[in-house]
Amino acid sequence: MKHTKINDLLGGKGLLHEVKAKGWVKTFRNNQFIALNDGSTINNIQCVVDLDKFPAELLKKVHTGAAISVRGTLVESQGAGQNVEIQVEHLKVYGEANPEEYPIQPKKHSLEFLRENAHLRIRTNMFGAIMRVRSVLSYAVHKYFQDNGFFYFNAPIITGSDAEGAGEMFRVTNLDLNNLPRTEEGKIDFKEDFFGKTTNLTVSGQLEAETYAMALGSVYTFGPTFRAENSNTSRHLAEFWMIEPEVAFNNLDDNMDLAEDFIKYVINYVLDKCADDLAFLDKRLQDEEKTKPQAERSEMTLLEKLRFVVDNNFKRVSYTEAVDILRNSKPNKNKKFKYIIDGWGADLQSEHERYLVEKHFKCPVILFDYPAEIKAFYMRMNEDGKTVRAMDILFPGIGEIVGGSQREERYDVLLEKIEKMGIDKEELWWYLDTRKFGTAPHSGFGLGFERLVLFATGMTNIRDVIPFPRTPQNAEF
Closest CA to 458 of 244, 261, 274: 274
- Residue 345's region, left for phi above 0, alpha for psi from -120 to 50, else beta, is left
Distance CA 16, CA 57 (A): 29
Q: Is 368 exposed, middle or buried (0-12, 13-18, 19+ CB in 10 A)?
A: buried
- Pick what 451 binds: ligand ATP, Mg ion, none; C-beta below 5 to 8 Å, kind-dependent: ligand ATP
Distance CA 155, CA 446 (A): 13
CB of 274 to ligand ATP, least distance (A): 21
Out of 85, 210, 369, 400, the only residue in the binding site for ligand ATP (CB under 6 A) is 400
SS (H, E, C) 359-396: HHHCCCEEEEEEEHHHCCCCECECCCCCEEEEEEEEEC
DSSP string computed for 39-53: SSSS--EEEE--GGG
Judged by beta carbon, residue 288 or residue 347, the one nearer ligand ATP is: 347
451 contacts ligand ATP (rule: CB under 6 A)? yes
- Size of interface with ligand ATP, in residues (CB under 6 A): 17
For residue 279, give the H/E element and its range: helix 275-290
- Contact stretch for Mg ion (CB under 5 A) within 189-197, 394-402, 424-432, 452-460: 394-402
- Pick what 71 binds: ligand ATP, Mg ion, none; C-beta below 5 to 8 Å, kind-dependent: none
Name the residue number minimizing CB distance to Mg ion.
Answer: 403
Give the sign of the dihedral formed by CA 135, CA 137, CA 138, CA 142.
positive
CB of 446 to Mg ion, least distance (A): 7
- Pick what 240 binds: Mg ion, ligand ATP, none; C-beta below 5 to 8 Å, kind-dependent: ligand ATP
402 contacts ligand ATP (rule: CB under 6 A)? yes
- Contact stretch for ligand ATP (CB under 6 A) within 280-288, 322-330, 408-416, 444-452: 444-452
Judged by beta carbon, residue 129 or residue 447, the one nearer Mg ion is: 447
389 contacts ligand ATP (rule: CB under 6 A)? no
Out of 23, 72, 399, 403, the only residue in the binding site for Mg ion (CB under 5 A) is 403
DSSP string computed for 395-426: ETTTEEEEEEEEB---HHHHHHHHHHTT--GG
Judged by beta carbon, residue 49 or residue 447, the one nearer ligand ATP is: 447
Site string for ligand ATP, 208-227 (x = CB under 6 A): -------------------x
Judged by beta carbon, residue 239 or residue 400, the one nearer Mg ion is: 400
How many CB atoms sit inside 10 A of residue 191's CB? 10
For residue 239, give the H/E element and its range: strand 239-248
Closest CA to 170 of 238, 241, 223, 235: 238
444 contacts Mg ion (rule: CB under 5 A)? no
Judged by beta carbon, residue 276 or residue 358, the one nearer ligand ATP is: 358
- Contact stretch for Mg ion (CB under 5 A) within 201-209, 373-381, 402-410, 457-465: 402-410
Hey, is 315 helix, strand or coil?
Answer: strand
DSSP state of 286: H
CA distances from 26 to 23, 46, 89, 113 (A): 9, 10, 19, 19
Judged by beta carbon, residue 227 or residue 442, the one nearer ligand ATP is: 227
Which of the residues 229 through 248 are near ligand ATP (CB under 6 A)?
Answer: 229, 235-237, 240, 242
- Pick what 444 binds: ligand ATP, Mg ion, none; C-beta below 5 to 8 Å, kind-dependent: none
Hey, is 285 helix, strand or coil?
Answer: helix
Residues at the contact surface with ligand ATP, assessed by CB under 6 A: 164, 227, 229, 235-237, 240, 242, 400-403, 446-448, 450-451
Residues at the contact surface with Mg ion, assessed by CB under 5 A: 400, 403
